Structure 1
Amino acid sequence: MDELTKNEKLGDLYAYYGSLLTAGQQSYFEDYYYNDLSLGEIADNHGVSRQAVYDNLRRSSKALENYEAKLHMQKDYNQIEDVIADALFAIDNDHNSTAKKELTKLLNQMRGE
């Protein structure tokens, strides 16, 4: 998995499970992945070593992956979204406008649109 894909995956998992991390883990994670700070910058800001930041980020990433492995929230959401999209496609071919409107509304809500 390339670095961008890994970072995107971790960002997605953080959206689901970030609140389960400690405040410190959240701060380091957001600084590194969202605010694009280097390990050295984060270390300076928190008064710790670069190694401590690296270890914290590694533990946080592992925790996020473990939450998904056990809870499947992201996987389940994606499956539901796929089923709705497939249903919309089928309805689109049947031209049933009422059902299509309701499913489109639901899918857009799930996507935050």
Structure 2
Amino acid sequence: MEKLVKTELLNELFETYKDLFTEKQIEYFKYYYELDYSYQEIGEMFNVSRNAIFDSLKKVEDSLYMYEEKLKIVEKRNLRKEYLDCYLKTNDKVYLDKLKGMDE
């Protein structure tokens, strides 16, 4: 997966599931994925090894993918948005029916 696409996906997943992580994991994630700090820079800020940052972020990343695979919150939200946008553009009630069907 291209780095930019992966980063955007991880940020979207993180916004949805961030309450499931520890304070440290949240801070590490924000510094690395949002502020573009290196593992080394984050490690120095928190007095931990570069490898500890890498391991923590890898766990967060794996957890984000697992949560989305099981819960599909982001996928469903994006699909709802797509159906709504299509309805607003076309006025085709088929998209309203699809939206209603998602709640079942």
**Residues of 2 paired with 1:71 and 1:24: CA distance?**
24
Aligned to 1:18: 18
CA displacement at 1:19 relative to structure 2 = 1.4
| Helix, strand or coil at the partner of 2:36 | coil
**Residues of 1 paired with 2:80 and 2:36: CA distance?**
32
User: 5+ residue gaps in structure 2?
Assistant: 93-104
Aligned to 2:6: 6
Q: CA RMSD in A?
A: 1.5
CA displacement at 1:70 relative to structure 2 = 1.0
Rg comparison, structure with higher value: 1
Aligned to 1:83: 83
Query: After the TM superposition, which parts of structure 1 deviate over 3 Å for at least 4 consecutive aligned residues?
Result: none
**Residues of 2 paired with 1:82 and 1:8: CA distance?**
18
Instruction: Please give the residue correspondences for 1:32-47 in structure 2 after superposition, counting only pairs within 5 Å.
Output: 32-47=32-47
User: 5+ residue gaps in structure 1?
Assistant: 94-113
| Helix, strand or coil at the partner of 1:37 | coil
Identical positions, percent? 34
**Residues of 1 paired with 2:31 and 2:90: CA distance?**
43
Q: TM-score, normalised by structure 1?
A: 0.78
CA displacement at 1:44 relative to structure 2 = 0.6
**Residues of 2 paired with 1:47 and 1:87: CA distance?**
52
**Residues of 2 paired with 1:23 and 1:85: CA distance?**
36
**Residues of 2 paired with 1:7 and 1:86: CA distance?**
27
Matched, 1:54 2:89: no
CA displacement at 1:59 relative to structure 2 = 0.4
How many residues are treated as equivalent by the alignment? 93
